[in-house]
Amino acid sequence: MDPLESERRVIEAAEVRARLLGENSNHTVAAAAMDTAGRIHAGVNVYHFTGGPCAEFVAMGLAATVEAGPLITMAAAGDRGRGLIGPCGRCRQAMLDLHPDILVAVPSKNGPQMHPIRKLLPGAYEFPDANALRVLRFNKRYYDSVIDGTKVSTIRWDETPSVGPAVFVFEDKYDHPLVRGAITGVKRQLLSELTPHSAHLPADADMAGYINGLRDHYPAMPPEAEVDIVTFHVEAEPT
């Protein structure tokens, strides 16, 4: 998917830092990561024959140092004009375990593209003790209805929501307090069998229009898709 405005800022931060690396062969890659508050944490790799950390590891460590919480975007860039580069296998595994909902910028012939980390590491081993806090993303237009409790469910396809505590992120909207809550249920159902009741919509809802909206959001979703009906609640006061 094409990067949002905030994701482009992360890519730019990595590329700017990479251009400042100069000719130092000990530091050849820069990475930038965004947290749920919209803050960007940037770092560079430390190359050493004993196995120094990649730039993505340094960025994750810097974010953890200031208790940034879950990260939602990551980008890395190479020195000497190499521009945006994809993460290595070890970085992909670490991001999957520590920040399972992060989107990673990857170069393509059509420019930067954002990929969920699990798509960059299919069939991956999952570290059972990672205990990562999950993130549930929303379009920013839903902020008021989520906060006031009028929106308590969402339909997702090809994502991995799970029951438990979560941080709710409203894409490209970071001028509000952190929204914490919980995913209370995940029920899988065929797209073709969605009803107003199962989708938690008004009884007279236009289901054809609603499903067309889902297809606009998920262009690759096939007619026979299974979707997840996700229910959630927020804390009484965002912090």
**Mind telling me the catalytic residues?**
56
Do the beta carbons of residue 101 and residue 70 sit within 8 Å? yes
By residue count, the chain amounts to 239
H or E element, residue 89: helix 89-98
Residue 18 CB partners (closer than 8 Å, separation 6+): 29, 30, 77, 78, 79, 82, 83
Angle between helices 55-65 and 89-98 (to 10 degrees): 20
For the chain, the farthest-separated pair of C-alpha atoms sits apart, in whole angstroms, at 65
Edge to edge, the sheet with strand 179-190 lists 134-139, 164-171, 179-190, 226-234, 153-156
